[in-house]
Amino acid sequence: MKTAVFIGRFQPPHLAHLETIIHALERFDRLIVVLGSAYGYPTPKNPFSAEVREAMIRASLGADAARLQFVAIADDYYNDPRWFRSVRTAVEALAGPGARIAITGYDKDESSYYLHGFGDWPFEPSGVVSPLNATDVRNSYFGGSADWKAMVPEAVRQHMEQFAATAEFKRLQDEWRTIQHYRALERSYPYPILHVATDAFVLAQEQVLLVERKGTLGQGAWALPGGYVEPRETLLASALRALREETGLALQAQHLKATQAFDYPGRSLRGRVISLGHFFDLGNTPPPAVQGQDAFWLPLAELERHQARFFEDHYQQICWFLGRAPHQPALSQGKEPK
């Protein structure tokens, strides 16, 4: 059985995505759609869950959807080889032993590098070349234009219109507008702007200290205490200050166990933000009391269950310091094709 794999974020699925899927089903016995950037907190870039994206694609295909299978894969910004292994493991679990697997899609630019990263899985171009892209769809959608409606299948349009009436859409639209304001400010500078931030990962008796964000960006998301570095402070001083201001916890430099620069270019929608993560390990010390309703301790045993609640790459930061891989929840959605 010949199996094609189509990888994307599908935020949202647009007409070129649908055309690619239809072409693949004409050439292959089965198509496995990999839904990337899964299990993250909704943002203007990734507003729809994996379950919603699957439902939109299935509703757009009708009877042909019976030959589709879906798998959702979380981002793994700081370990590309591990991300490739996660995709291979998930796809091979669905395809079964001995399956002939090929990657399909459109090799449009450097962002399509993953199409050639699976070794013995050959790349077979979809044959679909289109100027459509999901960024334009989202910008029209959140910007209040109706242009996006002609870019997506009818079933996707219906879902997006329903979503536009929800409070969650309003939250994401406010965040999108804030981000557009930042982009406009950056365009007035003659050179690219690079932001430097710090984050503080504090661990005590297998519990991590978190805050719930209240501002426009990532409102309601859980985050590590942190923020931008002030002009006259060191990186460590910045992390300690932010920790103290956001949680009331005053630590000393001797509690610092490790640091790591988190520099994935797309880690933040605010712009090009590099954060230096600081790991403070309090060992067997009971979690100290924290101030404010926004700060709380989360047991590490509950970390994976709340993966989709984290701001930007903060879940990945915690995993990096703990030496863990980001959790890939239950695989395999869809039935085995006949």
pLDDT digits (tens, 9 = 90+) for 192-234: 999 999 999 999 999 999 999 999 999 999 999 999 999 999 9
Q: What is the mean pLDDT of residues 51-67?
A: 93
Q: What is the mean pLDDT of residues 143-164?
A: 98
- Looking at residue 334, its pLDDT comes to 44
Nearest to 85 by CA among 325, 265, 262, 315: 325
Tell me the CA distances in angstroms from 178 to 158, 208, 212, one per residue in order. 26, 29, 19
Q: What is the CATH number of domain 194-322?
A: 3.90.79.10
Q: What is the mean pLDDT of residues 180-203?
A: 94
Our separate counts of H helices and E strands in the chain read 8, 12
Report the Cα 26 to chain-centroid distance in Å: 31
* C-alpha to C-alpha distance for 60 and 327, rounded to whole angstroms: 30
Average pLDDT, the chain: 93
Q: What is the mean pLDDT of residues 34-48?
A: 97
Q: Is the pTM of this model over 0.75?
A: yes
- Looking at residue 6, its pLDDT comes to 97
Thinking of the domain 2-131, which architecture would CATH place it in? 3-Layer(aba) Sandwich (3.40)
Q: What is the pLDDT of residues 126-136, one digit of tens each?
A: 999 899 999 99
- Looking at residue 196, its pLDDT comes to 97
Q: What is the pLDDT of residues 280-293, one digit of tens each?
A: 999 999 999 999 77
Q: What is the mean pLDDT of residues 63-72?
A: 92
For the chain, which residues make up each domain, given as ranges? Answer: 2-131, 194-322
Tell me the CA distances in angstroms from 308 to 106, 110, 180, 295, one per residue in order. 29, 28, 24, 18
- Looking at residue 335, its pLDDT comes to 41
- Looking at residue 330, its pLDDT comes to 58
- Looking at residue 217, its pLDDT comes to 95
Q: What is the mean pLDDT of residues 176-189?
A: 93
- pLDDT-above-70 percentage for the chain: 97
What does the DSSP 8-state code read for residue 79?
Answer: -
Strand partners, 258: 279
What does the DSSP 8-state code read for residue 333?
Answer: B
